[in-house]
Amino acid sequence: MHEFGSDRRAMRRFGSDRERRRRRANALYEFEMLLREEGISDFVCDEEQDLFRFPDGRFAFSNEWADVELLQERGYA
C-alpha cells in the first residue's frame, strides 16, 4: 500500500518533479561538456543557444531542460 505521507517525504528529500527534471538536465549538460572537452561527445553543441543537439539537428538537452522521451527512444537515457 502506498501512503501519501511517503510522497511528501520523498518530495522534501528529492524535490518536486520539476526540480528533479532540471537537475537531471543539468547533470546531462555538465557530463556532456566534459565529454566534449575530451572530444568524445555524441551530440552537437549549439554554443549560440547554449544547448546540445542530436547529430540530425533535433534538440537533445540544455542546462535546464532535456527531451527525455527522445533521449530514451534513441538509447541515451
- Whether residue 54 contacts residue 43, with contact meaning beta carbons closer than 8 Å, is answered with yes
Does residue 47 sit within a domain? yes
Query: Is residue 51, in this structure, part of any structural domain at all?
Result: yes
Helices (H) and strands (E) in the chain, counts: 3, 3
Mean pLDDT of 23-46: 95
Q: Within a domain: residue 54?
A: yes
Residue 11 carries which side chain, given as an amino acid letter? M
Q: Which three-class secondary structure state does DSSP give residue 54?
A: coil
Full domain range(s) for residue 46: 16-73
CB atoms within 10 A of CB 69: 9
Which whole number is the average pLDDT over 43-66?
A: 96
Residue at 44 is within a domain: yes
In a domain, 28, yes or no: yes
- Calculate mean pLDDT across residues 7-30: 82
Number of domains making up the chain: 1
What predicted TM-score, i.e. pTM, was given to this entire model? 0.76
In a domain, 49, yes or no: yes
Percent of the chain with pLDDT strictly greater than 90:
71
So what's the pLDDT on residue 33? 96
